[in-house]
């Protein structure tokens, strides 16, 4: 014989108060009632081992306490650190993070967006540029659903956004290599670069107007594959547009008998944890990744609580971390 499911009605009966009172107390409004009433309700909940029905609660409260987070590639440590920052803030505010990893697949990203909408999440954090503004308009804006874009996608005036100063980051990378005496510099980046990466390139071009551009997949393997074209060029230094590319370049250079920084200076972008564990430690442009995640979550929660406030775009600063993968040109 199956055990009878305990309901909110049973908790009300056990504690001697109304169903409405139990509902209010268990849904975060305990301050409206006396400590004695709250104590009785919580004691009854504990004794009966009552667990609220998620879907029933969703129908009554019109809230799921869930936030959908869409990232393009969770294997990239940048995004895992970013999600940690997001999740920390959401957990503190009693929200659950629903993570969707799109594997750099545009169709998968769009499908995830629609599926999160069907599941009734309370808000969306979009950390991918592949989702078109048209898809966002149809799925989110049309339904007045709270969302925020970050890092790879500029808001273009129709949503909140949290970004980092990519132009300044590219400029910092260029200045550092130029001060070290390098005049022939290769930039490794994807051919169809996202807007944030294009901004890094433009910042770099403020120092090097005509760098050697080497297009490759935005991954460690992409960096490794780019090495043949790097060594065939006149470059003495390499700007990897993110740290993942830089890690692949390390391996690729080692495979052809080249050393860092004796043969090539290498600078990355992001400052993921692994930079300090490489030999030599990687010089890189540091984004405040964890803070980026925290700020994004905070801005989205503000939007959920104040849906009619003006759109905000926040840009966080970057800085250069000089380590041992760059050196003066001999």
* Block residue for tokens 């809230």: 63
Residues 196 and 244 in one domain: yes
Q: Is the pLDDT of residue 1 over 50?
A: no
Give the pLDDT confidence of 182-197 residue by residue, as tens digits: 999 999 999 988 888 9
For 173, half-sphere exposure in the C-beta direction (CA atoms, 13 angstrom radius) is 41
Do 232 and 188 sit in the same domain of this protein? yes
Quote the domain boundaries for residue 251: 166-287
Q: What's the number of domains the chain is made of?
A: 3
Within-domain flag for 276: yes
Q: State the pLDDT at residue 128.
A: 73
Write down which residue in 61, 86, 104 finishes a domain: 61
Rounded to 5°, the CA angle 324-328-330 comes to 125
Task: Give the pLDDT of residue 74.
Answer: 85
- Which residue reads 């290599």 in tokens? 177
Q: Which of the 8 DSSP states describes residue 278?
A: S
Are 131 and 267 within one domain? no
Q: Is residue 324 part of a domain?
A: no
In a domain, 277, yes or no: yes
DSSP-derived 3-state class of residue 163: strand
- Smallest CA-to-CA distance from 85 within 272, 293, 273, 288 is with 293
Answer whether residue 328 is part of any domain. Answer: no
The verdict on 188 and 201 lying in the same domain is yes
Contact 197, 241 (CB under 8 A): yes
pLDDT band (50, 70, 90) for residue 3: low
The stretch 244-257 carries a mean pLDDT of 98
User: What residues are paired with 189 via a beta bridge?
Assistant: 215
Residue 94: closest CA among 128, 126, 57: 57
pLDDT tens digits along 96-140: 999 988 776 777 877 888 888 888 889 999 887 656 666 676 677
What is the CATH number for 103?
3.40.50.2300
Residue 3, domain member (yes or no): no
- Strand positions, DSSP E, 8-114: 66-71, 96-101
330 within a domain of the structure (yes/no): no
The structure tokens listed for 247 are: 């890690």
Mean per-residue pLDDT over the chain, rounded: 88
Rounded distance between C-alpha atoms, residue 133 and residue 115, angstroms: 17
pLDDT band at residue 57 using 50, 70 and 90 as cut-offs: low
Residue 223 has pLDDT above 70, yes or no: yes
Pair (110, 219) in one structural domain: no
One domain for residues 98 and 77: yes
Q: Cβ–Cβ contacts within 10 Å for residue 160, how many?
A: 21
Kindly state whether residues 110 and 26 are assigned to the same domain.
no
Instruction: Report the distance separating Cα 67 and Cα 107, nearest Å.
Output: 21
Q: By mean pLDDT, which of 61-75, 121-135, 263-277 is the weakest? A: 121-135
Quick one: 185 and 262 in the same domain? Answer: yes
Would you say residue 325 lies in a domain? no
Same domain, 184 and 139: no
pLDDT at 62 over 80: no
Token couple for 157: 């005036």
Give a yes or no: residue 43 inside a domain. Answer: yes
């Amino acid at each position: 014989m199956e055990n009878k499911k305990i309901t909110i009605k049973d908790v009300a009966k056990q504690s001697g108060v109304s169903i409405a009172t139990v509902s209010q107390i268990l849904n975060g409004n305990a301050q409206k009632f006396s400590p004695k009433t709250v104590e009785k309700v919580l004691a009854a909940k504990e004794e009966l081992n009552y667990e609220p029905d998620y879907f029933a609660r969703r129908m009554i409260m019109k809230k799921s306490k869930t936030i959908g987070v869409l990232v393009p590639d969770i294997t990239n440590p940048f995004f895992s650190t970013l999600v940690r920052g997001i999740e920390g803030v959401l957990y503190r505010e009693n929200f659950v993070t629903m993570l969707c990893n799109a594997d750099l697949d545009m169709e998968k990203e769009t499908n995830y967006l629609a599926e999160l909408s069907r599941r009734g999440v309370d808000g969306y954090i979009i950390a991918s540029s592949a989702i078109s503004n048209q898809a966002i308009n149809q799925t989110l804006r049309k339904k007045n659903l709270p969302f925020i874009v970050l890092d790879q996608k500029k808001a273009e005036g129709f949503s909140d956004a949290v970004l980092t100063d990519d132009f300044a980051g590219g400029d910092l990378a260029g200045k550092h290599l130029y001060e070290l005496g390098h005049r022939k510099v290769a930039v490794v980046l994807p051919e169809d670069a996202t807007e944030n990466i294009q901004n890094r390139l433009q910042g770099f071009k403020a120092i090097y107007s005509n760098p050697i551009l080497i297009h490759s997949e935005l991954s460690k393997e992409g960096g490794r594959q780019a090495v043949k074209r790097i060594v065939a060029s006149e470059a003495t230094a390499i700007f990897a547009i993110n740290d993942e590319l830089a890690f692949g370049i390390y391996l690729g250079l080692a495979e052809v008998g080249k050393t860092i920084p004796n043969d090539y200076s290498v600078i990355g972008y992001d400052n993921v944890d692994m930079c300090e564990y490489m030999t030599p430690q990687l010089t890189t442009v540091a984004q405040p990744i964890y803070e980026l995640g925290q700020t994004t979550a905070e801005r989205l929660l503000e939007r959920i609580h104040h849906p009619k406030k003006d759109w905000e775009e926040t840009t966080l600063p970057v800085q250069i971390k000089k380590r041992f993968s760059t050196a003066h040109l001999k």
